[in-house]
Amino acid sequence: GENVEQHPSTLSVQEGDSAVIKCTYSDSASNYFPWYKQELGKRPQLIIDIRSNVGEKKDQRIAVTLNKTAKHFSLHITETQPEDSAVYFCAATLSGGYQKVTFGIGTKLQVIP
């Protein structure tokens, strides 16, 4: 089955700096890669996603890149703000009748004011 590795497990950055979280996946058939943000005590919420036919996607201060050959994808947050502090989960999905989603273990991002 699919295996998703995520690192680092914790990340501290100064406000205004950039943050990068990296994930690797094992199943080359996976073709959809979402990123979820989970604030303390809240539910995970989708913040950005990328499909296997795209190499990069941006949405304001966040961007995701995908390298299918190396089977890794990354989340980039620029100009970090305190409200970016949360746990971020990457995931890999194998499309089909049922969407099997495999999550990484999460990265706790702390933005220091």
Measured CA to CA, the distance from residue 47 to residue 68 in angstroms comes to 21
29 close to 71: Cβ distance less than 8 angstroms: no
Pull the structure tokens for residue 99.
Answer: 């969407």
Measured CA to CA, the distance from residue 89 to residue 92 in angstroms comes to 10
Which CB sits closer to another protein, 33 or 85?
33
Which CB sits closer to another protein, 65 or 103?
103
Residue 15: CB minimum distance to another protein, A: 26
Distances in whole angstroms, Cα of residue 27 to Cα of each of 4, 5, 63, 91, 107: 9, 12, 23, 12, 21
Residues near another protein (CB under 8 A) are: 6, 9, 32, 34, 42-46, 49, 89, 93, 95, 97-101, 103-106
Residue 74: CB minimum distance to another protein, A: 17
Residue 43: CB minimum distance to another protein, A: 4
Which CB sits closer to another protein, 6 or 85?
6
Residue 14: CB minimum distance to another protein, A: 26
